[in-house]
Structure 1
Amino acid sequence: MGSAPQWARQDGFGIRVEWGRTGAAVLGPESGCLVVIDVLSFTTSVSVATAAGTAVFPYRWRDASARAFAAEHAAELAVGRREAGPWSLSPAAIRRAPFTPRLVLPSPNGSTIAATVERTPVVAACLRNVGAVADWLLAGHWGTPDRPIAIIPAGEHWPGTDAVRPALEDWLGAGALAAALLERGLATLSPEARTAATAFAATADVGAAITECASGRELAAIGFAEDVAIAIERDADATVPVLTGNAFVDRRPR
């Protein structure tokens, strides 16, 4: 998009939150680091894959160009959740699939956001690795007004449209990260980020909320309840998937 209006940038705050691809385009250029949150399921799949040692290449489209991109990078190509293939957008399928060192993982939401961000470090976060990501961001001295963190809940799309559907699971994921950063002493949250943190803290059972929300019910209805169960496991991974070149690789401290 063109230059974003000043009021949209959440200037003066160290932790900022905005929705989707457009939000990433607005906040990304002036951010020290951008964190993509797509709980069901791109960033959860990235967390599971990188924990196993796989480099994950985000890609915008699942078409012939994706096959060419995978071939160019000597990587396997993930298929859609309901297609036959060992690797897909399903974190449960990735967990069961044979190990591959390189995987192209297209998706219309989180993957598309990650693939289109320019010149800003990008991290993939979810409930599974939120603590590890928060620690890494703190160690990198991000989260100040001059080095702000942009947290981008990806959201979903309404069927058959390009309209973003703000998704509860991603709002809670963004809130979990904002709350974790607040707990670690980063206090300059924008109103958007502070409200997300408050919503997360006020949700008595985050796992139940995600399981019963629209996206959780959608996955259960098409046979992917296991993906939801994997996605709601808080701090199950110590991975910090950072977009390095064209791929997410685990950059946790060793």
Structure 2
Amino acid sequence: MTSPYVQSGFGVGFDWGPVGAEVVAGDIVAVVDVLSFTTAVTVAADLGIEVYPYQWRDETAATYAEQWGAKLAVGRSEAGPGDVSLSPATIRRAEGVNRLVLPSPNGSTIAKQLSDGGATVIAVSLRNRRAAADWVKKQPGVESGRQSGPKVVAIAAGERWKDGSLRPAVEDLWGAGGFLSALGRHDLSPEARAAVAAYDAVADELPDLLHECAGGRELTQYGYPEDVAIAAEVDESTSVPVLEDGTMFRST
């Protein structure tokens, strides 16, 4: 018996977090972590930097970075002059960086999990949501928009409460909905339609609302308003970072 959570019978789906990513399998999956993993990946891609996602920032991350000859991103609060962190602003200011290991327990983990499952994974944010949708529409079988073709899914990464449970983050809902809206498809699951409706409802106010949502206020409170401003650069990036071999995001 098919699981009711798979969103079968629809060409386009949407769900939340690692568990949702595992249940709602897709052939092409957009991972959305607006504040800040996928925004950081798009900023890096704009600069020609290859990004190696990694789950944890621990002693193994340094070994992994050395293996690939990459710079290891430090924690936001640890970043000094010349350091690179998950903060998109530090990536934009980086000099001489060609490869970057970017630890992230949310977006990075979901991307790797999906890639290991055989999906084509792309990093999507508000910055590149239209470019990503245009790229997907050009993939074999997708251009027809038929349910028999490749299934396209958007996964909103979300955040975590202190008890470890998923905190649905509205910025990720907007990012996923913005991408799905730009697809222009009519075979959306009810969940995907809800995400599109959420984006369409705020599209004209997004730069302001991104600063005012809980995630935006949190980053601003911690001293990173520039990161929110970069995340709010709607449609300003034409990069579409694709995860290759479950290892590296490289822009098409």
* Structure 1: distance between partners of 2:119 and 2:230: 29
DSSP 3-state at the match of 1:16: strand
Query: How many pairs does the alignment contain?
Result: 242
What residue in structure 2 maps to residue 165 of structure 1?
167
What residue in structure 1 maps to residue 179 of structure 2?
177
Is contact 1:15-1:144 (8 Å) kept? no
After TM superposition, the structure 1 = structure 2 runs for residues 1-254 of structure 1, keeping only pairs within 5 Å, are 6-28=3-25, 31-85=26-80, 86-117=83-114, 118=116, 119-140=118-139, 141-142=141-142, 144-146=146-148, 147-159=150-162, 161-182=163-184, 186-203=185-202, 204-245=204-245, 246-251=247-252
**CA positional deviation for 1:199:** 1.3
* Structure 2: distance between partners of 1:154 and 1:134: 18
Which of 139-148 and 116-125 deviates more? Answer: 139-148
Q: Could you report, residue by residue, the CA deviation over 1:100-145 in whole angstroms, capped at 9, with x for unpaired residues?
A: 1110000111111112221111000001111110000000033643
**CA positional deviation for 1:218:** 0.3
* Structure 2: distance between partners of 1:84 and 1:5: 47
Structure 1 stretches lacking a partner, 5+ long: none
* Structure 1: distance between partners of 2:158 and 2:211: 16
**CA positional deviation for 1:45:** 0.2
Letter in 1 for 2:76: R
RMSD after superposition: 1.3
* Structure 2: distance between partners of 1:99 and 1:40: 25
DSSP 3-state at the match of 1:242: strand
**CA positional deviation for 1:6:** 1.3
DSSP 3-state at the match of 2:129: helix
User: Runs of 4 or more off by more than 2 Å in structure 1?
Assistant: 141-146
Structure 2 stretches lacking a partner, 5+ long: none
* Structure 1: distance between partners of 2:210 and 2:167: 15
TM-score (norm 1): 0.92
**CA positional deviation for 1:209:** 1.6
* Structure 1: distance between partners of 2:22 and 2:3: 13
**CA positional deviation for 1:5:** 5.7
Is contact 1:13-1:144 (8 Å) kept? no
* Structure 1: distance between partners of 2:86 and 2:229: 15
TM-score (norm 2): 0.93
* Structure 2: distance between partners of 1:113 and 1:187: 26
**CA positional deviation for 1:178:** 1.1
Letter in 2 for 1:130: R
Q: Could you report, residue by residue, the CA deviation over 1:150-191 in whole angstroms, capped at 9, with x for unpaired residues?
A: 1000000013x2211000100011110111112xxx210000
